[in-house]
Structure 1
Amino acid sequence: MEAMTAATHHNPTRENVAGTAAETTAEKATRYVLAGLRLALGWVFLWAFLDKLFGLGRATPAKNAWIDGGSPTKGFLGNAVSGPFEGMYHNIAGAAWADWLFMIGLAGIGIALLLGVGMRIAAAAGSLLLVLMWTAVLPPENNPFMDDHLIYAGVLVLLALTAAGHTLGFGKFWSSLPIVQRLPWLK
């Protein structure tokens, strides 16, 4: 959205009295749709974390809760994986390091998206996680190569590129922090 706003800033027919570019209805609607997608995808990641942590009975039965000694990676990677990477995923299923990385990733990505901060890191980490999950079920069940994991990865990149954390999130504040100004990859 910053690029869209900057590109329209020089159009004199769209400047308001203060001399700044006026936001069109379509631009405002786009910002809010992207914010809604960010919040929805953030909830997808955070819910997966909570379900696996507490065994809330959706994808994870209560008896397999991580908090009660279950493994968030063992069931899927040990049983549901197919395709060319099956052996690799079977080997890491249930490994403590894999469980911790997976859970930290789900929580971190979900929280970052919900708050609208660290969008570049969340998009990179989330896309990597989603592409790895996609490789675990190659080929996808209903399509030769495309599935929701790749779509979600593309949406994450879109959200980071459009500063979607600035609307209904703390992205503007986050971006103004001195450390984020010095290290733009933290945006």
Structure 2
Amino acid sequence: MAGSGNRGGATTVHVAEHRAVGTATRPSDSIWALVRISIGWVFLWAFLDKTFGWGFNTPADRAWIGGASPTTGYLKGTVRKPLGAVFSPLAGHAWADWLFMLGLLGTGAALVLGVGLRLAAALGGLLLLLMWAAELPPEHNPFMDYRLVYALVMVGLAMVNAGDTLGIGRWWGNTALVRRHPFLK
């Protein structure tokens, strides 16, 4: 039965062999990898559009590279929200701009590449949670919106090692750096 992949311990060996060479063993592995890459692209695109002002969400005259603040529009818009007194004063500060943009870039790159998913889930999730809190209450629901859903999905992606399929997560996890510091997995 070894190699048949459908009885007893043979399935475990079969799965282990496939995982060792970095191939997907189930269709769901590929789906989760595509979800990971898609959410990563959402973060990367936000970074690129805000940096260069490509006109999708950020006009050219509001590009970060041209001196505009990527946090000003969003955070100033929270002034009439319940937590506006906390978030609105942060708008336009260089440290807030840099943290926000590095959060977008780092989370996006980690998800697309499939590396550091634990850290990306924690820090990207924190970024999303703060954005959610700044918008409370969400426009179309008393409390739930896509930011919370993305944060939960990112935690799930880290838990199932979604970076091992269609990503370099397996290689990354075997580096000396990650073996010494497992939170970087």
Distance 1:48 1:14 in 2: 46
- Tell me the amino acid that sits aligned with residue 61 of structure 1: P
Runs of 4+ in 1 over 4 A off after TM superposition: none
Of residues 122, 127, 130 in structure 2, which corresponds to 1:129? 127
Q: TM-score, normalised by structure 2?
A: 0.88
5+ residue gaps in structure 1? 1-10
Distance 1:56 1:22 in 2: 44
Equivalent in the alignment of 1:173:
171
Distance 2:164 2:27 in 1: 14
Please tell me the root mean square deviation across aligned C-alpha atoms, in Å: 2.0
**CA shift digits 1:8-33 (9 cap, x unpaired):** xxx952506xx71448xx96111101
Question: 1:62 aligned to 2:60?
Answer: yes
Mapped contact 1:81–1:137 kept (Cα < 8 A): no
Mapped contact 1:14–1:22 kept (Cα < 8 A): no
5+ residue gaps in structure 2? 1-5, 17-23
SS for the counterpart of 1:52 is helix
Of residues 10, 15, 32 in structure 2, which corresponds to 1:15? 10
Q: Relative to 1, partners in 2 of residues 1:22 and 1:112: Cα closer, same or farther, differing over 3 Å?
A: closer
Of residues 31, 40, 59 in structure 1, which corresponds to 2:29? 31
Distance 1:133 1:182 in 2: 33
**CA shift digits 1:79-118 (9 cap, x unpaired):** 2554221011110001000000000110011011111001
Identity %: 53
Equivalent in the alignment of 2:93:
95
Q: Relative to 1, partners in 2 of residues 1:82 and 1:72: Cα closer, same or farther, differing over 3 Å?
A: same
Distance 2:169 2:94 in 1: 33
Equivalent in the alignment of 2:19:
none
- Tell me the amino acid that sits aligned with residue 110 of structure 2: A
Distance 1:30 1:118 in 2: 21
**CA shift digits 1:150-181 (9 cap, x unpaired):** 00000000000000000000000000001111
SS for the counterpart of 2:142 is coil
Distance 2:153 2:80 in 1: 25
Distance 2:171 2:179 in 1: 11
Question: 1:152 aligned to 2:145?
Answer: no
Distance 1:41 1:85 in 2: 27
